[in-house]
Every structure is written in C-alpha cells, then in structure tokens.
Chains A and B, each alone.
Chain A
Amino acid sequence: MKLHTIALNNLKRRKAKMAFLTIGLAVGIATIVTLVTLTTSMSSDIGRKMDEFGANILVTPRSNGLAMNYGGISLGGVTFDQREIRETDLARIATIANHRNISAISPKVLGSVAIGGHDVLLVGVNFASELKMKQWWQIFGDAPKNDNELLLGSDASKVLNVAAGDSLRIGGEAFKVAGVLDQTGSQDDSLVFAPLGKAQKLLGKEGKITLAEVAALCSGCPIGDMVVQIAEKLPDAKVSAIQQVVEGRLKALNQFKRFSYAMAGVVVFIGSLIVFVTMMGSVNERTTEIGVFRAIGFRKSHIMRIILLEAALVSLLAGLVGYGAGMGGAKLALPFMAEAKNAKLIWDAWIAGGSIALALVLGLVASLYPALHASRMDPTEALRAL
C-alpha cells in the first residue's frame, strides 16, 4: 500500500466522473493540437509551394521610364535611356552568396509580332525553367520540344482560332502549336510562348533578354539580401522582389494562427475550469475520507500528493487522448483548410510532447487549490463523529 494505490483505486471507483474530467481536458488539448497542427501544416504547405514555384525576384532592364498603367489598363509609357540585359550576364546571378537558394532562372524576351492579322505579344522563354517555375500551368497538348513549336495562352488560341496540333506562321516562318494553356486568369492567357532563341531571332534581339524571373524560393529565404546581391552583380538591371502574393497568404495565415491560439486559450481555460470544479467537487465528496486519512496520521502533504497524483494521472490520459483526437481532427480538416490537395499533415514530436505536458500542467494547476483545500480540512470537522 502506497499513496498511489489510494489515488489509483479512487480513480477506478469514480469512472464516470474521471471520464468526464478526462474528456473535458482532452477536448481542450485536442483543440490546441488540431489548430497548431493545421497552422503548422498549412505554413509548411505554403513554404513548400514557395520552394516549388513562384518567382520571388524580377530582373528587368534599368530605365528612367514611368509606367502608365492603372488597374490593368495600359496607356503606354514614356521610356528613355533604356538599357538591355545580355543573356550571358544572367550567368552572374548564379555566383551570388545565396546562390544555393536559387532553384530556377527563367529569362524572357518580349516583343510584338503579327499573326494572322492580329498583333500578339510573343514571349521567348526557356521552357525547361519556365515549366519548373509555373507548375500550375495545365497544357492541352504538349510542351514545345523544338525551335519550331509554340505554346499558346487560352485567349490567344481563341483569337487566333488555333488548337494544339495546328500550324501558324510568324514572319513568314511556319510553327506548330504544340500545346494550349488552360485558362490561368493571368496575363499568360493572351501570350504566345516560343523557345527563347527562336523568339530572339524573330524579334531581332539576339543575345538579349527583356526580363528574367528568378525562383529564389523557400519560405525562409533571405529574399531582401538576394535582391541586393543580384543588383550588385547586374548593375544595369533593376532587381525587385515580388513576394506580395505569398506574403499576403502568410499574413492571412498568421492572422488565422493568432485567432487559433486565442480560441485554444479559451478552450483551455474552460477545460481548466472543468478540472477545477470536478476536483473541488471530488474533494468535498471525500470529506470523511480525508478526515480518516488525517486522523490516522497522514500529513497535509500526503493528502495533497494523493489529490495531485489523481489529477496528474487523469491529465496524462487527457493529454494522450487529446493529442490523438487533435491529430485526427487535423487530418480530417486539413484537406478543407489547405489549398493544395496533397498538403501533408505534420507529425511533430514537440506538439506531441507539448500537448501532454500542457495537459499535465493544466491539470495540476487547476487541482492545486482543491488539493490545498483538502489538505487544510479540519479532521474533527471532516469526521464529525469525533
């Protein structure tokens, strides 16, 4: 017979009450685990997307021009002192200090061409790096594999009345439409993509590029530093970061995180109240029992140890149940919360350990006053018989 025998036997006897207590605390822990796991998994999903695609840095020729567009409507612009970037200069980007954070460099040459009586913006790209960067592109047909193949945006394909497999002529030269992009809702819909070398030739800009997109990507990359490093390597280029979209999503996620923590805090507070009220009720029910313990020589600390041991055992169980339920909840909710269908659930040992530790601390803290109250009971009053 040890003190823990008393605690264990009491828990076994009061199964319903202890189940209620466990569930009360477990719900709080499960809520926290679900919310934390969801936000962690969603952050990781965004991080992965940033790693996989999305240009973070734009390299354009330096000019003293002023853009004249507003809300997607362009009225042209006044550009003077235009400098161009040589394609060979792009190799210097790979020499920056943070070159390991670069996953793709996609040079582009832009120019207007006439196709079948329509003026079209021709974009010369390196299809290998472009497709790596724009993984959201869905192509009907194939990606261009040789110099005489084109990729058309969905709107361009409609206007030019061509589909994958058709032919068209640019500057007297015949091209095959290898594929057509599914609607993207972006500027890509109205463009005609050609291999970079061929486009440079058609536009008379051999060896030159109009802009380069750099995928410098990973959620924790020092984008600002990399912009400075690239600008140093390419003094004639204007280098800017385009993180707004991802940052906007991260901001929204951070707001969700804060909301989650606030909600978790409320649930935990309610869980603690349940523990407090149940333990207090349990102590009051056991007044006589505690009087007997004191009469036969138990110290106040012995009484406290029994009550806190019971609380610790229940909390430990609540932590384990709460963690399991929370991860289950996160697994069910993640497909609805994350944008990517294949977003992965993060199994974090810190969350597992933290949730069990949190349950233990909450259970013990909420039971501290009931335990003190029990230990301070007057044995004569408690027994009344004496």
Chain B
Amino acid sequence: MSLINIANLTKHYTSGDETVEALRGVDIAIEAREFVTVMGQSGSGKSTLLSVLGGMNHPTSGEVEMAGVRLYQLPGEKLADFRARNLGFVFQSFHLIPYLTALENVMLPLAIVKAQNGQKRVVARQALERVGLGAKAGRLPNQLSGGEQERVAIARAIVNTPHILLADEPTGNLDSRTSDEVMALFRELNAGGQTIVMVTHNPDNGRHSDRTITLRDGRVM
C-alpha cells in the first residue's frame, strides 16, 4: 500500500463559458520515504496537482488517498486537522509572516497544538538547527537572506514532523548556489525518512529526487 494514491484525478476550472481541464485522469502512487519531483511546463497542471495533494483544492473527480485516508471525504474542518498533522508546505515565495521572528515562524504550526509553550520552543529551535539557522532564531524575515528565509520555511514545514512534505518551486527565487544548498537540505531530510513531493520546472532539481513525474496538459507522461 503506497503512502499516496491518486486515482483517475480530474480538476476542471470554469470561467464564464470556458472550462479549463487542469488535470485529466491522473494516476500516481508515491511510496513512503520517496522523494518525487513533479515537472512540467507552465500550465501543465503541476501546481494544481500539488494543491489537490495538499488538501486545499477539491478535485472535480477521482480519489486522493494519503496514509490510508481518503482526503476529500473528510468532513468539515477535519481536512484542516489532517493538514496540520500530516502535511508540511514549502512555498515558492517562502510566505514567512513578516512580524514574527524566525523561531516564531517555525512555531506557527504549533500555535494550534495543545502543548506547553516551552516545549514548542524547544521543538521549533531543533527544527531551525536542523536547517542550520539556530543562530538566527531571533531575526525577523526581512533580516534574513533569500536562502535563509527558504530554510526557515522548510523548518516551519517539518516542525510538526509531517508524513509528507510538499514543496512548490522551492528554489524558484534563489540563485544557483543557494538552490543547491536547499536541494541538499531536501536530500538530507529525505535520507532521514521524510517523504517529499516537489513541484519544479528546473530540470537540475530533478537530479536530487528518486523519481520524476512529468505532466503535460494535465496528464502524466
């Protein structure tokens, strides 16, 4: 049984009289501890696939099963709870909260977890140290470089030890040297057992993953 099973997934967007078929009958299985890169040109449906995988975009049809849970059959806010427990997100533009320090940004997913604040702080600091930013815990995002912001975003994504880490163009805003550092970090996390699904259009990034899935016009090639 795979960790992620996507079966006959379709997603259509309707705008006025026009319907765009972003995903057309996608079938993917991803194993636990696997590092998968999803590639494709702009408009191929890779970002839509990631948002559907992230439990934030209801598919038009098909099934998404993660860790034995049919994601889109979860009632009400259970989907949000599932995201909080099982998924970690790394966004292209980092999306750090500007008024929170690096440590507080990492602690963000723990804000809705019932635990002692001190305990949350320890866990968040460990995550920051894991990405090599323990010394910059008290800095605000605008006091960090792009690569450092990306690392904080990764620490935030792994702080709640999710089953799956979803990354959307994580090196899209970074120079090549920093991109390599970030990819090395992903590789290291994967070596530690972290399942990673990364969307990218950079073929170089694919080298770091176990497998590359290519999408074209909403279909797996």
Contacts and interface: CB of A to CB of B under 8 A. Distances in A.
A13 B95 contact: no
Contacts of A299: 77, 80-81, 112
B87 to A, nearest CB: 8
B111 A5 contact: yes
B201 to A, nearest CB: 13
Interface string B80-114: 11111101110111010111100010011111100
B125 interface: no
Interface stretch (B23-31, B36-44, B46-54, B183-191): B46-54
B168 interface: yes
Contact of B77 (A12, A295, A300): A300
B213 interface: no
A289 B96 CA distance: 8
A257 to B, nearest CB: 45
A289 B80 CA distance: 16
Interface stretch (A165-173, A347-355, A358-366, A377-385): A377-385
B57 interface: yes
Contacts of B93: 385
Interface in B10-69: 47, 50-51, 54, 56-57
A70 to B, nearest CB: 79
A3 B89 CA distance: 20
Contact of B91 (A2, A300, A383): A383
B51 A380 contact: yes
Given A13-B99, A294-B56, A296-B89, A6 B111 contact: yes
Given A297-B81, A299-B80, A5 B112 contact: no
B64 to A, nearest CB: 14
Interface string B159-183: 0000000001100000000000000
Contacts of A289: 95, 97
Contacts of B82: 297
Interface string B104-135: 10011111100001001100100000000000
A10 interface: yes
Given A1-B104, A385-B95, A296 B84 contact: yes
Contact of B112 (A288, A297, A380, A385): A297
A386 B50 contact: yes
B156 A296 contact: yes
A302 interface: yes
B68 to A, nearest CB: 19
Contacts of B89: 292, 295-296, 386
Contacts of A295: 54, 56, 83, 89, 91
Contact of B109 (A3, A5, A296): A296
Nearest to A300: B77
A386 B87 CA distance: 14
Interface in A307-322: none
A297 B83 contact: yes
Contact of A386 (B54, B108, B110): B54
Given A296-B84, A386-B51, A9 B104 contact: yes
Interface string B184-208: 0000000000000000000000000
A297 B95 contact: no
A369 interface: no
A302 B99 contact: no
Nearest to A1: B107
B112 A3 contact: yes
Contacts of A301: 77
B111 A294 contact: no
Interface string A272-298: 000000000000000011011111111
Contacts of B51: 380, 386
Residue from the set A3, A297, A298, A378 with the largest chain B CB neighbour count within 10 Å:
A297
A235 B70 CA distance: 95
B108 A10 contact: no
A258 B88 CA distance: 59
B57 A297 contact: no
Contacts of A300: 77, 80
Contacts of B57: 380, 386
Contact of B100 (A2, A6, A386): A6
A298 B80 contact: yes
A17 B215 CA distance: 45
Nearest to A295: B89
A372 to B, nearest CB: 15
A385 B80 contact: no
A1 B110 contact: yes
A340 B162 CA distance: 73
A293 B80 CA distance: 10
Interface in A221-237: none
15 contacts: A2-B111, A5-B104, A6-B97, A293-B108, A294-B80, A295-B56, A296-B83, A296-B88, A297-B81, A297-B82, A297-B83, A298-B84, A298-B112, A299-B77, A385-B168
9 shortest interchain CB distances as A-B pairs: A297-B84, A13-B99, A1-B107, A297-B83, A386-B51, A299-B77, A379-B56, A296-B109, A1-B111
Given A1-B104, A297-B83, 4 more contacts: A1-B110, A289-B95, A289-B97, A296-B156
